[in-house]
Structure 1
Amino acid sequence: MTTIEIVADSRKWKAHIDDGPAARDFLAQLPLTLTLKDYGGSERIADLPRPLTRKGAPDAVTPRAGNVAFYASWGNLAIFYRDGHQSPGLSLLGRPDGDPMEFAGADPLSVTIRQAERRIEHRLPYYDVARWSRASSMNARKADGVLRLR
């Protein structure tokens, strides 16, 4: 599973993208700047630069509030904030954190979608943390027994 960020002005959402062929195609297109438009009072949609694969996808899916999906018939990304109806050609990609109703609204929403930065944290026993924290050349920071590499 890969974490992405959906950013609109001062708002930021995280979403978790599954590991499947369509999801990998989607991640390969990031970063993207899209305008999400309301569709049917249940989802936000935007055209993708190129279509995603349907390999391994079911014939039809019934989306639930919070699903991030690709609709093959139109070639668009969809973020559902309400439950949808069974849709042939829909591939589920993942799910955002938080309340999906935050995506509701009639006004177009300009967003940037990108992979989230990964933070590497490694817990070491106390005696190792003390040794590592003295090594200024390691470009590391220690707090509460956690070594954070920069």
Structure 2
Amino acid sequence: MRIRLTAGETVLDATLDDNATARDFASLLPLTLRMNDLFKREKYAHLPRPLAAGGEPRSSYEIGDIVYWSPGPDIAIFYDHDGQSIPDPGITVLGQIGSGAEALKQYEGTVDLTIEAVG
């Protein structure tokens, strides 16, 4: 599924993975979240409810990854890489931004982000 993320003037296109966790996330769309900054590498926000299990948890990430962290329950979008790994229980990748995730660096602190299905 293709999605669009909009923060201020920044518009990013992404694709969700085909796993149960990503499909459950898609059922929440459209969604507007107040995203906070964490470690100058990611924007994150609390989701309105936990998502279904089904994606493979991992401790690494790539710039542009859209991920779910179950203890939050939080969504995070990585815009930079600091070489650190993610602690247990790890993250589940929901999808990837095609290009331009680094543009989220410009929003220091919090930013409202709208996520919607495309097509």
* TM-score bucket (shorter structure): 0.7 to 0.9
Partner of 1:39: 38
Q: How does 1:1-150 map to 2 (within 5 A)?
A: 2-58=1-57, 60-83=58-81, 84-89=84-89, 90-104=91-105, 105-116=107-118, 118=119
Q: Which has the higher contact order (CA 8 A, sep 6+)?
A: 2
Counting aligned pairs with the same residue, the percent is: 29
Shift of residue 19, structure 1, vs aligned partner: 0.7
What TM-score, normalized by structure 2, do the two folds share? 0.87
Q: Displacement, 1:56?
A: 4.5
Which entry has the higher C-alpha Rg, 1 or 2? 1
Residue segments in structure 1 that go unaligned for 5+ positions in a row: 119-150
- Structure 1 runs, 4 residues or longer, greater than 6 Å off: none
Report the residue type matching 2:103 in the other structure. Answer: E
Report how many residues are paired. 115
**Structure 1 residue 4 displacement after superposition:** 0.4
Greater fraction helix = 1
Under a length normalisation based on structure 1, what TM-score does the superposition of the two structures give?
0.71
